[in-house]
């Protein structure tokens, strides 16, 4: 019998999509609008955008951990709290100026994430999740024992330090606004770049099959460790920024599981876990629901939890998953597609 060689079809690998170019144009227009906000927006607008920015940053990082690296953490409040406390310690005790202190606070959080990871990485799956929560409680208890940082009742940031951010209220708010904007947009860009890099490819491979990924030379433990440290670094900076704006810190608030993890998890689950667009959609839903239901207190959280539960059961890839499956839109394509020619 004769065999004929079948010619390999020519193909190319596509990484961008038509909608991703549209996304880029929209993103540039949006960023330009946000940069100009201090000239035409009020103080409340600035504060709201900062809050949206850090919420989005936390959501992107949690999504990177849980949606891409399989590290479902319920303890990210550990790094928000550590970042906040590091800011207070650096500015008050070490006299570091506040703006570099925010960046340094992230590094402090990342350094403390190393021993944390060594401990919690011994636990798998759901036990990993609760282990991260225990670590957050541990850090909270330790901060509550430090008299120089206000012990259990917390402390305020001295006026001189908030003056160092900006002499007038307007100047301070503007500086904090741009820091928030840089952190929010920077996190999205960083996560996008990370997922499109070799690291991201390794993560995708691990997510699809850890054993198969290992067999082609992906070092799963090291890849996950790197993601965990990256998330701690940025989460720490976000925490520092939050407490530079709040001016007051206490262990209970800084390590609060509801504010810094539960809300964030709901945002990612509702928006769509495992995509960069998901946290945007989730944050939109979150802030809209809060705007309309702020007066209902506990009912608001009950509704948010119920929506998240229903979405997890019926549409595990969230609202964005439904949309992008239906219309094939990808603003932030992290996949590679093979096209035959």
Partner 1 sequence: MDWVNAIVQGALVGGLYALFAAGLSLMFGVMRLVNIAHGDLIVLAAYLGLVVVNATGLGPFLSLIIVVPVMFVLGYILQRGLLNFTLGGDILPPLLVTFGLSIIIQNALLEGFSADDQKLQAGNFETASLHITDQLAIGWFPFAIFLTALAVIGLLEFMLYRTALGRAFRATSDDSDTARLYGVRNRHVYSMATALALAVISIAAIFLAVRVNFDPASGPARLLYAFEAVIIGGLGSLWGTLAGGVVLGVAQAIGAQLNPGWEQLAGHVAFLLVLIVRPRGLFPRLVDG
Q: Which residues bind partner 1 (CB under 8 A)?
A: 66, 70, 72, 74, 119, 122-127, 129-131, 133-134, 137-138, 141-142, 144-145, 152, 257-258, 262, 265-266, 269, 273, 297-299, 301-302, 304-306, 308-309, 312-313, 316
309: tokens are 């539960």
Q: Which runs of E-coded beta strand occur in 15-65? A: none
User: Nearest approach, Cβ of 157 to partner 1 (angstroms)?
Assistant: 24
User: Nearest approach, Cβ of 119 to partner 1 (angstroms)?
Assistant: 6
Kindly tell me which of 232 and 311 has the beta carbon lying closer to partner 1.
311
CA–CA dist 50, 206 (Å, integer):
34
Kindly tell me which of 34 and 264 has the beta carbon lying closer to partner 1.
264
Kindly tell me which of 13 and 298 has the beta carbon lying closer to partner 1.
298
User: Nearest approach, Cβ of 57 to partner 1 (angstroms)?
Assistant: 20
Q: What angle do CA 8, 12, 16 make, to 5 degrees?
A: 160
Kindly tell me which of 53 and 257 has the beta carbon lying closer to partner 1.
257
Kindly tell me which of 194 and 266 has the beta carbon lying closer to partner 1.
266
CA–CA dist 296, 285 (Å, integer):
16
CA–CA dist 151, 142 (Å, integer):
9
User: Nearest approach, Cβ of 309 to partner 1 (angstroms)?
Assistant: 4
CA–CA dist 322, 327 (Å, integer):
9
Nearest to 334, CA basis, from 144, 162, 191, 137 = 191
Burial class (CB in 10 A: 0-12, 13-18, 19+), 165: buried
Angstrom CA distances, 337 to 14, 17, 43, 197, 201, stand at 5, 10, 45, 15, 13
Kindly tell me which of 23 and 274 has the beta carbon lying closer to partner 1.
274
DSSP reduced 3-state for 12:
strand
Kindly tell me which of 116 and 162 has the beta carbon lying closer to partner 1.
116
- DSSP code at position 294: G
Which residues, including other chains, have CB under 8 Å from residue 163's CB and lie 6 or more apart?
none
Kindly tell me which of 65 and 102 has the beta carbon lying closer to partner 1.
65
User: Nearest approach, Cβ of 150 to partner 1 (angstroms)?
Assistant: 14
User: Nearest approach, Cβ of 310 to partner 1 (angstroms)?
Assistant: 9
Nearest to 236, CA basis, from 21, 17, 8, 57 = 57
325: tokens are 């499956």
Kindly tell me which of 141 and 171 has the beta carbon lying closer to partner 1.
141
CB count within 10 Å of CB 223 equals 20
Which residues, including other chains, have CB under 8 Å from residue 328's CB and lie 6 or more apart?
17, 19
User: Nearest approach, Cβ of 128 to partner 1 (angstroms)?
Assistant: 9
Nearest to 317, CA basis, from 62, 63, 136 = 63
User: Nearest approach, Cβ of 316 to partner 1 (angstroms)?
Assistant: 7
User: Nearest approach, Cβ of 203 to partner 1 (angstroms)?
Assistant: 15
């Amino acid at each position: 019998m004769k065999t004929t060689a079948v010619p390999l079809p020519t193909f190319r690998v596509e990484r961008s999509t038509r909608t991703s170019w549209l996304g880029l144009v929209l993103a540039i227009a949006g960023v330009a609008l946000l940069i100009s906000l201090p000239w035409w927006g009020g103080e409340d607008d600035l504060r709201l955008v900062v809050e949206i920015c850090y919420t989005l940053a936390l959501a992107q990082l949690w999504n990177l951990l849980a949606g891409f690296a399989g590290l479902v953490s319920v303890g990210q409040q550990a790094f928000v709290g550590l970042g906040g406390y590091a800011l207070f310690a650096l500015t008050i005790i070490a006299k570091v100026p506040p703006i570099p202190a925010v960046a340094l606070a992230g590094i402090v959080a990342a350094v403390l994430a190393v021993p944390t990871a060594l401990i919690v990485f011994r636990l798998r799956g759901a036990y990993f999740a609760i282990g991260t929560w225990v670590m957050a409680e541990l850090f909270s208890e330790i901060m509550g024992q430090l008299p120089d940082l206000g012990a259990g009742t917390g402390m305020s940031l001295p006026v001189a330090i908030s003056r160092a951010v900006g002499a007038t209220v307007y100047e301070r708010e503007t500086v904090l606004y741009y820091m928030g904007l840089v952190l929010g947009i920077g996190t999205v860009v960083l996560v996008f770049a990370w997922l499109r890099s070799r690291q991201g490819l390794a993560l995708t491979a691990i997510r699809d099959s850890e054993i198969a990924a290992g067999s082609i030379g992906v070092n799963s433990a090291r890849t996950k460790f790197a993601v965990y440290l990256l998330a701690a670094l940025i989460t720490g900076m976000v925490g520092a920024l939050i407490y530079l704006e709040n001016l007051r810190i206490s262990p209970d608030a800084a390590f609060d599981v509801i504010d810094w993890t539960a809300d964030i998890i709901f945002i990612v689950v509702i928006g769509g876990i495992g995509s960069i667009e998901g946290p945007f959609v989730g944050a939109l839903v979150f802030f809209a629901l809060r705007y309309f239901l702020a007066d209902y207190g506990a009912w608001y959280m009950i509704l948010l939890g119920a929506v998240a539960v229903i979405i997890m059961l019926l549409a595990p890839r969230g609202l964005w998953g439904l949309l992008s499956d239906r219309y094939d839109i990808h603003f932030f394509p992290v996949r590679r597609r093979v096209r035959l020619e």
